[in-house]
Structure 1
Amino acid sequence: MLIGYSMWGFLGNGVVDTPDGSRAYRKPFLDALRAEGHDIVLLQRNRDALDSGENFSSTYRWNPAGFPSLDAVILEWRWPLPGRNTIPCGTPGHTCDLHRQTELIDRYTRECGTPTLIWDLDRQLPADDPLRAMPSVSVGEFAILTTPGARHLPCPVPDELLDAADAKRLSRTVREVPLVYVGNQYDRDDHFDRFFAPAAKLVRHQVAGKWTRIEAWPHVEFIGRAAFHDVDGLHRKALATILLLPERYWRVGHMTSRWWEALLAGCIPLVPVEMRGVELYLPRDLHVADGQDVIDRLAWLRGLAGTSQHADLLAACLARLEPFRCSTIAREALAILEDVS
């Protein structure tokens, strides 16, 4: 098949001041689709070349304005962002992601009935959106508890990175920072205040990302945004992290790439026990109910650091990643498209 893929993001490192968590897995996911024998054409602006100066044109092709003959479409769902993609084209600050997505849906999904997978990566597609009822459309979500009618299509883990992860080697890495968090503030204040901030009073820590409302936590070390290529290094020097999630994520078991990005660097994630399906992602010893639990688990992990028990814990965590391999998730995406063909 020739699959059209719509994304408003990057295949490479991108730029520091643009959030794009999908960079962690987008290229491996596309490569996994190609490994299954399919061709890909990218349907949005080539932001790698135009914004970050990275050239992937020898391997991938873009068609940001036309309408090639496609067998299927995958859309990383975009939603209205006032002042950005809702203002007229050509206006300063305008981004054309939503405009282009609308064009693609009108041409392929509505007019041609092309099999369409809407991958709602941020849980922004309204539950009553008419697109959900169209026979040629299926919606994929990271969540365990999906919106009625949607399919579980979780965040993929790059096969190459998972194959290279060695629990014994990772356990021997010196972890100079007991606690780290890498990610932006968006809708995470409650979890941050309950789980991260109490521990930050007692242990060395760092918070990397866009955090603009920090007055409530004067004791926390915020180090600003980190470039995508620096995320792995931040995790590799840290013993543990906490998976801080917006309520709309944790209530349905929607897990982001931060889970496996940390693990593959040997940084142990702690996860709030209130998250739906928490046992799917991490062993019980790493579930936390409050800030005191975080403090206690950090003390326990510091006692394990560098030992065989540390390696065993990492191995048990890495084993939880196996069902989420990019190659597996790519085949699931193709099966979803087949179901609406």
Structure 2
Amino acid sequence: MGLQVILGYSFWGFLGSGVVDTPDGGRSHRRALIDGLRERGHRVVFLQANRDRDEAHLDLTPIYDWDAGYPDIDVLFLEWRWPIPGRNTTTCGTPGHTCDLHRQQQLLDVYSARGVPVLLWDKDRQLPAEHPIRRAPAVAVCEPALHPAPGAVSLLFPVADEALDGADPVTLTKLRRDLPLVYIGNQYDRDEAFDRHFAPAARRHTHLIAGKWPRSSQWSDLNFAGRIAFDAVDRLYRRSVATVLLLPDRYASVGHMTQRLFEAVLAGCLPLTPATIREASRFTPRQLHISDGDDAANRLEQLLAVVGEQDHAEVLHACLARLDQFRLSRQLDTVEHTLTGLALRRVG
């Protein structure tokens, strides 16, 4: 791309491993995107708090730039934040308050007044359809879905090209896998999917559930381990035969796949996939599609019988091939195309 810009990037999370008690799924892909943008000649300055330094005690300031003010930028890039009662809707300085939402609004107010265009990435599908920002002339909305909302651009969570090109299904299937079934992720809006697709299979197979599940009393017979460190996610997937892709309905209906897919597949853990997910075959081969938890249990029995064998490697190869749509270079092309469109809007 000929156009190289200064991006003011707003995100509430981490570039490194962060801390255990956080729901930041962006750690799996955010740094890859940022580094890719920088390698293509764009300058990136972060406009939210430096949580890597302040909370995780990881100083990345020799590598990246943070600015608590309002520096000159060409485009404001937002990982969209939304109101969370009791957290970012409270008064600044009160216990438990996070200032991500306030800061986001300040950034929008200042840069909109300056005529700076906005690339808004609605990574959690929390931007209401009727929100006026969708109709603003200098705003482009992106979503990590195969079928984004009308007027939005499909920008999937990126996976580094090197990670995809270096993944060997034969090597991955030869790893020792002592855990038949795993789920890594938090409860948020997943109760129905968990109860239908995961719980029945977990009752028939040795399993582990890692993540924040504060309301799990109805599944008291299952093995909940609580949150684990981000660095432990890959290790847990590497000892597991299979997981289940659990999506809230607002994700499943538009083919919005989370980072759990490529985290699992790149570790050789096979993702059993509810067939109700829109275009499920775009994410995994049909032999991994399930109709419910009993179906998941039966499919897992079949997989356990071929662990480490050619059939195992072949189905993993099919999963790896489908990750190509998440390839970082593809997502960077999408970002740059969107940035070009925003630049033209600003000129106009």
Q: Secondary structure at the match of 1:340?
A: helix
1:174-198 Cα distance to aligned partner (Å, 9 max, x none): 1101100000011111111111111
Does structure 1 residue 38 correspond to structure 2 residue 45?
Answer: no
Q: With the length of structure 2 as denominator, give the TM-score of the two structures.
A: 0.95
Rounded to whole Å, the distance in 2 between the matches of 1:315 and 1:127 is: 38
Rounded to whole Å, the distance in 1 between the matches of 2:333 and 2:39 is: 10
1:217-274 Cα distance to aligned partner (Å, 9 max, x none): 1221001111111000110010000001111111111100000000000000011000
Rounded to whole Å, the distance in 2 between the matches of 1:29 and 1:168 is: 28
Q: Secondary structure at the match of 1:4?
A: strand
Rounded to whole Å, the distance in 1 between the matches of 2:9 and 2:17 is: 19
**Paired AA for residue 314 in structure 2:** D
1:135·1:340 contact (CA, 8 Å) conserved in 2? Answer: no
Larger mean Cα displacement after TM superposition, 159-168 or 209-218: 159-168
The residue number in structure 2 matching 1:218 is 220
Equivalent residue runs for 1:162-311 within 5 Å: 162-311=164-313
Q: Secondary structure at the match of 2:217?
A: coil
**Paired AA for residue 182 in structure 2:** V
Equivalent residue runs for 1:292-331 within 5 Å: 292-331=294-333
Q: Secondary structure at the match of 2:124?
A: coil
Q: Which runs of 5+ in 2 are unaligned?
A: 344-348
Q: CA deviation at 1:87?
A: 1.3
Rounded to whole Å, the distance in 2 between the matches of 1:228 and 1:243 is: 18
Q: Secondary structure at the match of 2:213?
A: coil
1:139·1:150 contact (CA, 8 Å) conserved in 2? Answer: yes
The one of 132, 135, 140 equivalent to 1:133 is 135
The residue number in structure 2 matching 1:100 is 103
Rounded to whole Å, the distance in 2 between the matches of 1:25 and 1:157 is: 6
Rounded to whole Å, the distance in 2 between the matches of 1:308 and 1:144 is: 31
Rounded to whole Å, the distance in 1 between the matches of 2:37 and 2:310 is: 38
The residue number in structure 2 matching 1:26 is 30
Q: With the length of structure 1 as denominator, give the TM-score of the two structures.
A: 0.97
Q: CA deviation at 1:145?
A: 2.1
**Paired AA for residue 81 in structure 1:** I
**Paired AA for residue 45 in structure 1:** A
1:45-80 Cα distance to aligned partner (Å, 9 max, x none): 00000000011111101002x111101111000001
**Paired AA for residue 25 in structure 2:** G
Q: Secondary structure at the match of 2:262?
A: helix
Q: CA deviation at 1:312?
A: 1.4
Q: Secondary structure at the match of 1:98?
A: helix
Q: CA deviation at 1:163?
A: 2.6
Rounded to whole Å, the distance in 2 between the matches of 1:89 and 1:137 is: 28
Rounded to whole Å, the distance in 2 between the matches of 1:338 and 1:91 is: 41
1:130-168 Cα distance to aligned partner (Å, 9 max, x none): 111111101000122211111111111122322321111
Rounded to whole Å, the distance in 2 between the matches of 1:146 and 1:2 is: 26
Larger mean Cα displacement after TM superposition, 235-244 or 303-312: 303-312
1:200·1:219 contact (CA, 8 Å) conserved in 2? Answer: no
**Paired AA for residue 295 in structure 1:** A
How many pairs were matched up? Answer: 339
The residue number in structure 2 matching 1:152 is 154
> Once the two structures are aligned, what percentage of the paired residues are identical?
52
The residue number in structure 1 matching 2:84 is 81
**Paired AA for residue 317 in structure 1:** C
Q: CA deviation at 1:278?
A: 0.8
